[in-house]
Amino acid sequence: MNSDDKILYIFAYLLTWLSGIIVLFLNQGKNRNLRFHALQAFVLGVAITIISFFSIFSPFPLNIFVDLFAFLLWLYGVFVGYRAYNGVNIKIPVIGEIAESM
């Protein structure tokens, strides 16, 4: 695996579902591990989008916590991408299982 492939692990999690799709198309099935992380980033992005959507309808004090939770999920995704860049695979609970089944 060259350094260009390794940077795709981090990129997959930066814009979550959008960059996950981009990495999925760039990979074209060559690297199964990169495919898993692209799908995991996509599913994580969908989950963050749904959580953020609920923030719109939450009352004032609660929406701050919902947005903070969504941000922390995104930050955890970037951490997972960084660890994958370093060769350590982390499967996010529930989301990783969904990504494996895709």
Based on its alpha-carbon atoms, the radius of gyration of the chain, rounded to whole angstroms, reads: 14
Count of structural domains, the chain: 1
> How far apart (Å, rounded) are the C-alpha atoms in residues 14 and 9?
9
List all residues 6 or more positions away from 24 whose beta carbon is below 8 Å from its beta carbon.
35, 38, 39, 42
Instruction: Please choose, from the candidates 35, 27, 37, the residue with its C-alpha nearest in 3D space to the C-alpha of residue 77.
Output: 37
pLDDT at 82: 94
Distance of CA 8 to the CA centre of its chain: 12
Distances in Å between the Cα of 94 and the Cα atoms of 91, 98, 102 are 9, 6, 13
The domain in which residue 55 lies consists of 3-101
pLDDT tens for 27-53 read: 887 888 999 999 999 999 999 999 888
> Can you give the pTM of this predicted structure?
0.87
